[in-house]
Amino acid sequence: MLNPYLYREERRKLIRQKAKREYDIPYLNKSRITEACIKKWYREFKEHGKEGLIPKTRSDIGTCRVLPPEEAACLLEYLEGNSDLTAQAVYQKLKDQGIITKELSKSSLSRLVVSAGLDRESRMQKKDGTKQLKFAFKYPLECIQADMMHACAVPDEKGKLRKAILLAMIDDATRRIVYATFSFRENSLEFEYGIKHILLSYGRIDRIYVDNGSPFVSSETRRILSILGMPLLHSRVGHCSGRGKIERFFRTTRDQFLRPLDKESIKSLADLNARYHTWLESVYHRSPHRGLGGNIPTDAWLENAHHIIQLDPTVNLDDISCMR
């Protein structure tokens, strides 16, 4: 077939012959290959060589192509908070309420739920093992949840692609993101810088809730927060109890910001951060949140901002530590 001297009709005849043959195809319940498939492989090989025949990973794997990202996020959030309900029951309930507007097959719903780690078995294990702690803080900065998430590869100053890592801090009461920045580092200094930003930009933090990752267990960080009178609380090893808000935010970031992003157009870390902060302020902070009774994070924050206690002006953070 690859003979460049073959006439077109001769090549078509070869393709028809190969399509009539039976093949031993591993892992598939079929023994024939269609003419269309052979033609497609031929074109791919001519254009890209052997690389063109390597199966490509779907860019939308783990996502639901039928539901808009906001509707999918709402369904998953409701399902996570109501583990006794089936995914089908949650879907029907939200559809009846007009929150979900698209028809979704059972197989598509199942793939969406499983890819998010919210299949019934997983939800029951979480419920039976360690009951999720549901904090009920009322005012801004009463509790901040922080975590880090690996994102896409971004060119550094020398043009080399490096993994960007997001440090995000969410206000428990209002769901406002009080700090979120991509960097190339995953250490306690990034965490301390985020804390310093919140203290100087907003005010005192009553408590900070994190997991047991290496950026959050530094004795120096604990010493700094102890001097400032801010408890650093850790979830139990192997359990994510109480950290559902930051995890849901990361899921929203992946679904609504990272997946639609044209990653090849990102010029630098600063470019990625600029786009991300624009999305935060124009989309995330202005979207109704079920956990806020339909309110948006920006309004929830402003309505209770008068409860924020400002940092004592006599406190010099640089004297307490080497915070940048």
Percent of the chain with pLDDT over 70: 85
Q: Note the pLDDT of residue 313.
A: 83
Q: Are residues 118 and 254 in the same domain?
A: no
Residue 164 maps to a domain: yes
At which residue do the structure tokens 């739920």 appear? 113
Residue 37 maps to a domain: yes
Q: Are residues 315 and 170 in the same domain?
A: yes
pTM over 0.75: no
Give 34's contacts (C-beta < 8 A, 6+ positions apart): 19
Query: With contact defined as beta carbons under 8 Å apart, do 97 and 91 qualify?
Result: no
Question: Tens of pLDDT along 49-85?
Answer: 777 777 665 544 445 567 888 888 888 888 887 777 8
Domain count for the chain: 3
Q: Are residues 149 and 179 in the same domain?
A: yes
3 state SS of 190: helix
Question: What angle (nearest 5°) sits at the alpha carbon of residue 64, between those of residues 149 and 259?
Answer: 40
- pLDDT for residue 176 is more than 70: yes
Alpha helices in the chain (DSSP H): 8-20, 35-48, 69-81, 87-96, 106-115, 120-129, 188-201, 219-228, 244-253, 269-282, 297-303, 317-320
Q: Note the pLDDT of residue 163.
A: 94
Instruction: Decide which of 98, 129, 160 is a domain's last residue.
Output: 129
Q: Note the pLDDT of residue 128.
A: 53
Q: Are residues 106 and 182 in the same domain?
A: no
Question: Tens of pLDDT along 178-222?
Answer: 999 999 999 999 999 999 999 999 999 999 999 988 999 998 898
DSSP-assigned states of every residue in 218-264: -HHHHHHHHHHT--EEEPPTT--TT-HHHHHHHHHHIIIIITTS-GG
Residue 135 maps to a domain: no
Residue 58 maps to a domain: no
Query: With contact defined as beta carbons under 8 Å apart, do 151 and 269 qualify?
Result: no
Q: Closest Cα partner for 264 from 46, 47, 59, 43?
A: 59
**2 or 267: which leads in pLDDT:** 267
Query: With contact defined as beta carbons under 8 Å apart, do 277 and 257 qualify?
Result: no
Q: Note the pLDDT of residue 228.
A: 87
CA distance 192 to 222: 10
Residue 239 maps to a domain: yes
Query: With contact defined as beta carbons under 8 Å apart, do 175 and 292 qualify?
Result: yes
CA 145 to chain centre: 15
Q: How confident is the model at residue 151 (pLDDT cuts 50, 70, 90)?
A: very high
Q: Are residues 175 and 315 in the same domain?
A: yes
Q: Are residues 296 and 158 in the same domain?
A: yes
- pLDDT for residue 270 is more than 90: yes
Residue 225 maps to a domain: yes
Q: Are residues 122 and 191 in the same domain?
A: no
Q: Note the pLDDT of residue 60.
A: 47
3 state SS of 164: strand
- pLDDT for residue 130 is more than 50: no
* Average of per-residue pLDDT across 81-101: 84
Percent of the chain with pLDDT over 90: 41
Question: Tens of pLDDT along 303-316?
Answer: 999 999 998 888 87
Q: Are residues 115 and 44 in the same domain?
A: no
Q: Are residues 78 and 178 in the same domain?
A: no
Q: Note the pLDDT of residue 125.
A: 64
Q: Note the pLDDT of residue 236.
A: 74
3 state SS of 280: helix
Q: Are residues 298 and 202 in the same domain?
A: yes
Question: Tens of pLDDT along 234-264?
Answer: 887 655 556 789 999 999 999 999 999 999 9
* Average of per-residue pLDDT across 8-28: 79
Rg (CA), the chain: 26
3 state SS of 118: coil
Query: With contact defined as beta carbons under 8 Å apart, do 104 and 67 qualify?
Result: yes
3 state SS of 209: strand
What is the residue type of 312?
D
HSE value, Cβ hemisphere, 13 Å, CA-based, for 280: 18
**269 or 223: which leads in pLDDT:** 269
**321 or 152: which leads in pLDDT:** 152
* Average of per-residue pLDDT across 221-236: 87
Q: Are residues 300 and 178 in the same domain?
A: yes
Instruction: Decide which of 129, 156, 180 is a domain's last residue.
Output: 129
Residue 307, φ and ψ in degrees, nearest 5: -85, -10
User: The CATH number of the domain where 240 resides is what?
Assistant: 3.30.420.10
Judge residue 261's burial from the number of C-beta atoms within 10 Å of its C-beta, 0-12 exposed, 13-18 middle, 19 or more buried.
Answer: middle
Q: Are residues 93 and 181 in the same domain?
A: no
- pLDDT for residue 324 is more than 50: no
Residue 138 maps to a domain: no
* Residues forming beta bridges with residue 163, ordered by sequence position: 153
Mean pLDDT over each residue of the chain, to the nearest integer: 84
How many residues are present in the chain? 324
Query: With contact defined as beta carbons under 8 Å apart, do 66 and 106 qualify?
Result: no
Residue 253 maps to a domain: yes
Q: Which residues form the domain of 41?
A: 8-53
